[in-house]
Amino acid sequence: MIPVLDLSPEIDALWDEVNAAVQRVLRSGQFILGPEVEAFEREVAEYLGVRHAVGVNSGTDALVLALRALGIGPGDEVVTTPFTFFATAEAVESVGAEVVFADIEPDSFNLDPAAVEAAITERTRALLPVHLFGRPAAMGALLGLAERHGLAVVEDAAQAFGARLGERPAGTLGDLGAYSFFPTKNLGAYGDAGLVTTDDDGAAEAVRMLRAHGAKRKYHNEVVGYNSRLDALQAAVLRVKLPHVDAYNEVRRSVAARYNEALADVEGLVVPEVSEGHVFHQYTVRILGEHREMVRAALKARGVGTMVYYPVPCHRLPLYAGRGLRLPEAERAAAEALSLPIWPQLDAPTQDCVIAAIRDAV
Ligand SMILES: *Cc1c(COP(=O)(O)O)cnc(C)c1O
């Protein structure tokens, strides 16, 4: 069976380096924050070209802390995409604000700026675009909207570490960026980990305070915060992997290009565009004509694993079903999207097996 993701070749390739890093942390006796986390924060800030990078417990916490740092809370609305992992909406709920879903663009699976504009009210405080599957959202248009309406922008870059728009990394174009280092992400730790980035000194200070129980100085708590500190073992692992992430993303892009070339002529299947700066966290095609589940089963029978991200758009989750909201593009994407195997060490013969199975199955 070809899985959708295989982390083992990466672990094999980095085995000695990761072991040395883990042993260094064990010997240091410092397991939460400390020099290892500070070193990672410096290195990742330099990689991303931002003034501040603050390590936190998870990508979900990164979103929550970014929203809190902006002072977003009860009475505020945040406009985001329904076609994302629930954590995006959940973060907005967690700070007590209201989630407003706007529909997506069919080609990119990302927020449609026109739909976002239509969703803005006098209570809107922020836009929360997601760079889904590693493809940067339409940030030019979204930043323009934010500017015209006086809104903050928090980017959910959980799936897009290393993605770029022009020279700028995804996650660094808005006011704050939130990244996840969940093990399956393009830059993955070996446990939960996340990061908030910003160029704003005040916002960075707020995030640092919030991650440590709302205290700038230990035992001098100023606000109700969180226990959301990055641990040193994860920081050490991330320091080993950070120098490789561009090369890994480059391979993902070339695997995607090769899949596209081999699948472009398959009827009833739409391949994703290898757009500028896309880092293919997922390689996601559309299976047209309500055939996805059949194709999925046929691929499984041929030994090819697939995943559906996401079978239910957020606005149709039980939590929001009462709103009765219809967003046709997000619903169509949820019915048609199928993610195929992709990882940086996925070799050509295995790609060929996937390609042959799809040509057969569709
Ligand atoms: C993974 C993910 C998150 C949450 O990150 P965690 O580190 O798992 O908390 C948030 N948003 C999106 C789009 C994600 O893919």
Q: pLDDT of 289-325, one tens digit each?
A: 999 999 999 999 999 999 999 999 999 999 999 999 9
Long-range contacts of 290-299 (CB under 8 A, 24+ apart): 290/335, 291/362, 292/335, 292/336, 292/337, 292/338, 295/338, 295/358, 295/361, 295/362, 296/338, 298/357, 298/360, 298/361, 299/357, 299/358, 299/361
> Which pLDDT band holds residue 352 (cuts at 50, 70, 90)?
very high
Hey, is 47 helix, strand or coil?
A: helix
Structure tokens at 122: 């006098």
Q: pLDDT of 14-50, one tens digit each?
A: 999 999 999 999 999 999 999 999 999 999 999 999 9
C-alpha 309: how far from chain center: 12
Hey, is 172 helix, strand or coil?
A: coil
Average pLDDT, the chain: 97
Ligand 1 atom nearest the C-alpha of 180 is 7
Distance 326 CA to ligand 1 centre (A): 24
Structure tokens at 93: 């709920």
Hey, is 358 helix, strand or coil?
A: helix
| Cβ within 8 Å of residue 32, ≥6 positions away | 229, 230, 231, 232
What amino acid occupies position 98? E
Which of 5, 85, 130 to probe ligand 1 with, by most ligand atoms within 8 A of CB? 85
Q: How large a percentage of the chain has pLDDT more than 90?
A: 99
Task: Provide the pLDDT for residue 49.
Answer: 98
Please tell me if the CB atom of residue 196 comes closer than 6 angstroms to any atom of ligand 1: no
Q: pLDDT of 147-173, one tens digit each?
A: 999 999 999 999 999 999 999 999 999
User: What is the mean pLDDT of the segment spanning 52-74?
Assistant: 98
How is the chain split among helix, strand and coil, in percent rounded to 5? 45, 15, 40
Q: How large a percentage of the chain has pLDDT more than 70?
A: 100
* Residues 5/308, Cβ–Cβ less than 8 Å: no
Please tell me if the CB atom of residue 83 comes closer than 6 angstroms to any atom of ligand 1: no
Task: Provide the pLDDT for residue 257.
Answer: 98
User: What is the mean pLDDT of the segment spanning 194-202?
Assistant: 98
* Residues 162/186, Cβ–Cβ less than 8 Å: yes
Please tell me if the CB atom of residue 85 comes closer than 6 angstroms to any atom of ligand 1: yes
Please tell me if the CB atom of residue 314 comes closer than 6 angstroms to any atom of ligand 1: no
Task: Provide the pLDDT for residue 288.
Answer: 96
Distance 132 CA to ligand 1 centre (A): 10
User: What is the mean pLDDT of the segment spanning 98-118?
Assistant: 98
Q: pLDDT of 218-259, one tens digit each?
A: 999 999 999 999 999 999 999 999 999 999 999 999 999 999
d(CA 115, CA 139): 14
d(CA 164, CA 277): 4
Q: For the chain, give the number of residues.
A: 362
> Which pLDDT band holds residue 275 (cuts at 50, 70, 90)?
very high
Task: Provide the pLDDT for residue 176.
Answer: 98
Distance 221 CA to ligand 1 centre (A): 28
Please tell me if the CB atom of residue 186 comes closer than 6 angstroms to any atom of ligand 1: no
Ligand 1 atom nearest the C-alpha of 193 is 7
Hey, is 240 helix, strand or coil?
A: helix
> Which pLDDT band holds residue 92 (cuts at 50, 70, 90)?
very high
Please tell me if the CB atom of residue 88 comes closer than 6 angstroms to any atom of ligand 1: yes
Domains of the chain: 8-243 (3.40.640.10), 244-361 (3.90.1150.10)
Please tell me if the CB atom of residue 194 comes closer than 6 angstroms to any atom of ligand 1: yes
- Angle, CA 295 vertex, CA 292 and CA 296 arms, to 5°: 85
Please tell me if the CB atom of residue 79 comes closer than 6 angstroms to any atom of ligand 1: no
Distance 68 CA to ligand 1 centre (A): 17
